[in-house]
Amino acid sequence: MAINLDEFRARRELLIKAMGEGVAIIPTSPELVRNRDSHYPYRFDSYFYYLSAFKEPESVLFIMAGATPKTILFCRDKDMEREIWDGFRYGPNGALAEFGFDEAYSITKLDEIAPKLLANQEKLFYSFGAEAVWDLRVNNWLNQLRSQARTGVSVPNEVVDVRKCLDEMRLYKSAYEIEIMRHSSDIAAAAHQRAMQFVKPGVMEYEVEAEFLHEFYRRGAQSPAYTSIVAGGANACTLHYNQNNAKLSDGDLVLIDAGCELDGYASDITRTFPINGKFSSAQKDLYELVLASQSAAIAKVLPNADWNAPHEAALDVLIRGFIDLGLCKGSPDEVLENGSYRQFYMHRTGHWLGLDVHDAGEYKDKQGGWRKLKKGMALTVEPGCYVRPSENVPEHFWNIGIRIEDDVVVTETGSEVITKAAPKTILEIEALMQDD
């Protein structure tokens, strides 16, 4: 999808309004060395990208609010030698022409120009603590200004965490963002379908991970959105399992939590299915329970509902099911109260989703209550059930781990499940897996 530069410009203007006065400094991420002269794949900083659409490392955005607002990018110079080795760079002039900033300078001029931009500003909008190298640099600029105090230069006397303003903006996805997220979800859903058709007893977990990577890249995603979890059998009971190096066994389930990043936006899908294509009766009991809890949770994703309503709905269904299946003892209220359900369900039911897989945004409002869902918010709904061997558990449930995760956008009247192309009913999954 073509980059909608007007939208990026509008975001910068919104930030300028929210600031009122002062200067904001938003650096992108540093490049990270893997070893010697090899780097990890580069990923820009989400806040920086959200405002700039600019993906090159060694860049920083200054935003000046007040009477004469302007946006200034510092970026790498054009450099034929480096471009021969590493690829194209816009350079300040190219960035200015392409991305709609008011000014652009070489990153080599940053230490010379930045103190001038900070001088005599009342407020500094910057996230101290996010990146030590930048903290040191910003402190140096401030100290330079302090040393000029007798010449009448003043230093910003109020520091505001710029992320606070941006988190709130990032929480509400525009139609443009939702379109990218739909596409990212479609790619991840296709990869989950591909995995269901690929899996059979004897296949290694990493072979399945490779199917995901193939499908992600083949369809234009730039990377996985996080390290994929491919967890066969008992491995599914380790929530953050990602060794992905075991053999998939006949009779077990496999839990796969895998999503991609497309144009900066994450998808985040989990599906759990039988390695041999057919759910056993115990697997069916638990799977239907998790699926019912997910449906109940998704039904609570509505404008003006509490953030916590989907979690409470999922928990209610799970607790009743745990009691029916002999996993928990007592009444639903007692099990909720004494927390015995946590032996089988120990995480929450979702998180914000967007540029980051665990996206920006507060979960509580200023009064400390759960915030209300609003049109344009995007979240995951991901209940699960993880049964480790234990004396208090019927043996036929041992080592079954199930999670079902979809990505949901709050609409004007309800919600849209943007990952629904990934099969999840027992009927759909078994039909797909038997379909050679």
Which positions touch ligand GLY (CB under 6 A)?
A: 226, 257, 268, 351, 357, 382, 405
Q: Are 63 and 26 in contact (CB under 8 A)?
A: yes
Q: How far is residue 9 from each of residues 15, 102, 199, 333, measured CA to CA in Å?
A: 10, 10, 46, 51
Among 177, 205, 268, 356, binds Mn ion (CB under 5 A): 268
Burial of 129 (0-12, 13-18, 19+ CB in 10 A): exposed
Q: Are 430 and 279 in contact (CB under 8 A)?
A: yes
Q: Which does 226 bind (CB under 5 to 8 A by kind): Mn ion, ligand GLY, none?
A: ligand GLY
Nearer to ligand GLY, 45 or 268 (CB): 268
CA dihedral 250, 251, 255, 258 (to 10 degrees): 30
CB of 342 to ligand GLY, least distance (A): 18
Of the residues 358, 362, 363, 365, only one is catalytic, namely 358
Secondary structure of residue 229 in the 3-state scheme:
strand
CA–CA separation, 228 and 246 (whole Å)? 14
Structure tokens that stand for 5 in this block: 């530069």
Nearer to Mn ion, 231 or 325 (CB): 231
Nearer to ligand GLY, 138 or 379 (CB): 379
CA–CA separation, 198 and 236 (whole Å)? 19
Nearer to ligand GLY, 183 or 271 (CB): 271
77 included as an active-site residue: no
Of the residues 47, 90, 126, 386, only one is catalytic, namely 386
Nearer to ligand GLY, 209 or 268 (CB): 268
179 included as an active-site residue: no
Q: Which does 56 bind (CB under 5 to 8 A by kind): ligand GLY, Mn ion, none?
A: none
214 included as an active-site residue: no
333 included as an active-site residue: no
Of the residues 186, 209, 382, 406, only one is catalytic, namely 382
Q: Which does 247 bind (CB under 5 to 8 A by kind): ligand GLY, Mn ion, none?
A: none
405 included as an active-site residue: yes
39 included as an active-site residue: no
Stretch that binds Mn ion, among 203-211, 248-256, 266-274, 278-286 (CB under 5 A): 266-274
CA–CA separation, 265 and 225 (whole Å)? 8
351 included as an active-site residue: yes
Of the residues 56, 177, 356, 405, only one is catalytic, namely 405
One symbol per residue from 239 to 258: x for binding Mn ion (CB under 5 A), - otherwise; what is it? ------------------x-
Tell me which residue of 164, 176, 124, 125 sits closest to 10, measured CA to CA.
Answer: 176
211 included as an active-site residue: no
Helix 281-299 to helix 309-324 angle (10° resolution) is: 150
- Strand 123-125 to 229-232 pairing: unpaired
263 included as an active-site residue: no
Which residues in 369-408 contact Mn ion (CB under 5 A)? 380, 405
Structure tokens that stand for 269 in this block: 């899908």
Question: What is the sign, positive or negative, of the torsion defined by CA atoms of 93, 96, 102, 107?
Answer: negative
Structure tokens that stand for 168 in this block: 């709130």
Which residues in 405-434 contact Mn ion (CB under 5 A)? 405
358 included as an active-site residue: yes
CB of 380 to Mn ion, least distance (A): 4
CB of 136 to ligand GLY, least distance (A): 32
CB of 117 to Mn ion, least distance (A): 39
Tell me which residue of 332, 382, 333 sits closest to 353, measured CA to CA.
Answer: 382
Per CB under 5 A, 185 contacts Mn ion:
no
At position 313, the amino acid (one-letter code) is: A
Of the residues 34, 150, 240, 391, only one is catalytic, namely 240
Q: How far is CA 155 from the centre of its chain?
A: 36
Nearer to ligand GLY, 186 or 356 (CB): 356
C-alpha atoms less than 13 angstroms from C-alpha of 200 in its C-beta half-sphere:
7
CA–CA separation, 285 and 305 (whole Å)? 30
257 included as an active-site residue: yes
Q: Which does 347 bind (CB under 5 to 8 A by kind): ligand GLY, Mn ion, none?
A: none
Q: How far is CA 14 from the centre of its chain?
A: 23
Q: Are 432 and 425 in contact (CB under 8 A)?
A: no
Nearer to Mn ion, 261 or 405 (CB): 405
Nearer to Mn ion, 57 or 401 (CB): 401
Which residues belong to the active site?
37, 240, 257, 268, 347, 351, 358, 382, 386, 403, 405
Contacts with Mn ion, residue ranges (CB under 5 A):
257, 268, 380, 405
